[in-house]
Amino acid sequence: MSPTDNRLRRPERLAVIGAGYIGLPTAAGFADLGYEVTCAETNPTKLARLAAGQVDLHEPDLEDLVRRGLKTRRLSFVDHAQRAAGDASIVFICVPTPQAEDGSADLTFVESVVADIGPLVRPGTIIVTRSTVPVGTADRLRNIVGRRDVHVASTPEFLREGSAVRDFFHPDRILIGASEPVVRRRLGELYDVFGVPVIVTDIATSELTKHAANAFLATRLSFVNAMANICEAAGADVHQMMQVVGLDPRIGPKFLAAGPGWGGSCLPKDTRALAYVARQLGEPFTQLESTVRSNEAQFDRVVRRLADHLDGSVQGRRIAVWGLAFKAGTNDLRDSPSLEVCKRLVAAGADVTAFDPAVGAAAVSQLGFAYAETSIGACFGVDALVVLTEWPEFAATDPSLVAAAMSGDVVFDTRNVLDINEWTSAGLRLVTVGRSSPDPLNSSASANAA
């Protein structure tokens, strides 16, 4: 990123409501681009730390960006949406949209912010949902605001945790959902700086597109996991298979890794929310509902396969878990596949000790299992090790240290990140997902034979 001192002061004044994974990069990013940004955050501890330039999210460069914004005074933090929105010309709503009990998106946070700010924003203000919301939300928000001189629009966020700052400045695409030409123009000017395709649609299409993108990703992963399970039964290798499948330009190589089941802060709730909306619209999305069910079964399958390698049961067995975050590069535990598996292990009577390089002991204190300060520390005296997040340091660990620490010899690599030959050479029984035998092309045995 280039220095910011000489950047222009921009005419729009921005408010960002919610300083979380998407709100904070949005607020600090636009401040870095020269906008005056006021960010509202209701969590008092988080607010105090942010005002002092301290960021608790595990996001590269985010703390520097926040500090720069504070130093230039273009970024400020306040404790209430009303204090941020009163002077703003564009208000970005970045508050949570969690899953309600019936699977729908719970819009309580979004609607209460809009009810709070609706009466006091200036004429011409654009209220933009950046939170992921179901189709039809903008209409509801317009009714809540109840003013013809205030606009409502949608610009869904596509950034990925772990690379939020990079994704803010270098997005793949920008989607603007707006009906009035003036709103399309003003938001278009705001996003013009990124030099990437800006697609402008009606609001319903924009709202639905974010859900479609996440449902597609989840379906793709469930497809790969289903193929992995078939590979296990057939003695085939899903890793090699997907390398070939991904070379088809119509498919592409990304998001084709088999694993313990997908999770994270978005895919589980967004797939269910879309399935709920589809049912409400009288167009049940049976394929997506089956994707969601098959993912639950994938978590069960991890526990069942581990039990198979421990004489049929995990009860009373000591299990080390490597990785708690839903993916490498983040400390976010929301709907993490690892926690899904850990919960099932604990429920089945296993004695679990976990380690994650980005998650501290405090975060797991309520979850019913122990926490170790190091990866090897988690392995002392255990019957089995399960790798559940693909942190690079796990693949770089010396397997002989693990073998020396463990009582048993079962290592279940649900992310396929460990080198099969190295780990089996250390005397460990490596169980993988969809790779029933060591890679015959790359194994040292075949290299020696050749």
Active site residues: 266
The nearer residue to ligand NAD, 161 or 390, going by C-beta atoms, is: 161
Provide DSSP, 360-404: -HHHHTTTTSEE-SSTTGGGTT-SEEEE-S--HHHHTS-HHHHHH
Distance set, CA 144 to CA 111, 126, 149, 182 (Å): 8, 14, 13, 21
- The footprint of ligand NAD on residues 139-158 (CB under 6 A) is 157
Told to check if 208 binds ligand NAD by CB under 6 A, we report no
- Containing 208, the helix (H) or strand (E) segment is helix 203-234
Q: Which residues fall within 8 angstroms of residue 274, CB to CB, at 6 or more apart?
A: 134, 211, 212, 214, 215, 285, 288
Told to check if 335 binds ligand NAD by CB under 6 A, we report no
* Length of the chain counted residue by residue: 450
Told to check if 329 binds ligand NAD by CB under 6 A, we report no
Told to check if 186 binds ligand NAD by CB under 6 A, we report no
Determine the residue type at 219: T
Beta strands, E only, 107-249: 126-129, 151-154, 174-177, 198-201
DSSP summary character for residue 165: H
Please state the closest distance from residue 74 (CB atom) to ligand NAD, in A: 19
Instruction: Tell me which long-range contacts 341-346 makes (C-beta under 8 A, separation of at least 24).
Output: 341/260, 341/261, 341/299, 341/302, 341/303, 341/386, 341/388, 341/414, 342/367, 342/369, 342/388, 343/367, 343/368, 344/299, 344/300, 344/302, 344/303, 345/303, 345/306, 345/314, 345/319, 345/321, 345/369, 345/386
Closest residue to bound ligand NAD by CB:
20
Binding range to ligand NAD, per CB under 6 A, among 12-20, 136-144, 298-306, 389-397 = 12-20
Please state the closest distance from residue 221 (CB atom) to ligand NAD, in A: 16
Query: Residues 10, 14, 15, 22: which binds ligand NAD (CB under 6 A)?
Result: 22
Distance separating alpha carbons of residues 413 and 47, to the nearest angstrom: 39
Please state the closest distance from residue 326 (CB atom) to ligand NAD, in A: 10
Please state the closest distance from residue 110 (CB atom) to ligand NAD, in A: 8
The nearer residue to ligand NAD, 87 or 300, going by C-beta atoms, is: 87
Told to check if 357 binds ligand NAD by CB under 6 A, we report no
Query: Residues 265, 271, 294, 389: which binds ligand NAD (CB under 6 A)?
Result: 265
Query: Residues 17, 141, 292, 354: which binds ligand NAD (CB under 6 A)?
Result: 17
Please state the closest distance from residue 363 (CB atom) to ligand NAD, in A: 14
Told to check if 63 binds ligand NAD by CB under 6 A, we report no
The nearer residue to ligand NAD, 75 or 307, going by C-beta atoms, is: 75
The nearer residue to ligand NAD, 298 or 330, going by C-beta atoms, is: 330
Please state the closest distance from residue 179 (CB atom) to ligand NAD, in A: 22
Q: Which residues fall within 8 angstroms of residue 249, CB to CB, at 6 or more apart?
A: none
Distance set, CA 147 to CA 127, 256, 324 (Å): 12, 47, 46
**Residues touching ligand NAD, count (CB under 6 A):** 26
Please state the closest distance from residue 321 (CB atom) to ligand NAD, in A: 23
Query: Residues 127, 174, 266, 379: which binds ligand NAD (CB under 6 A)?
Result: 266
The nearer residue to ligand NAD, 43 or 442, going by C-beta atoms, is: 43
Which among 355, 329, 415 is positioned nearest to 21, based on CA atoms?
Answer: 329
- The footprint of ligand NAD on residues 94-113 (CB under 6 A) is 94-97, 109, 113
Binding range to ligand NAD, per CB under 6 A, among 4-12, 38-46, 195-203, 425-433 = 38-46
Distance separating alpha carbons of residues 323 and 394, to the nearest angstrom: 9
Told to check if 331 binds ligand NAD by CB under 6 A, we report no
Told to check if 42 binds ligand NAD by CB under 6 A, we report yes
Q: Look at strands 370-371 and 126-129 and give their pairing.
A: unpaired
**Binding site residues, ligand NAD, CB under 6 A:** 17-23, 40-43, 46, 81, 94-97, 109, 113, 131-132, 157, 159, 161, 265-266
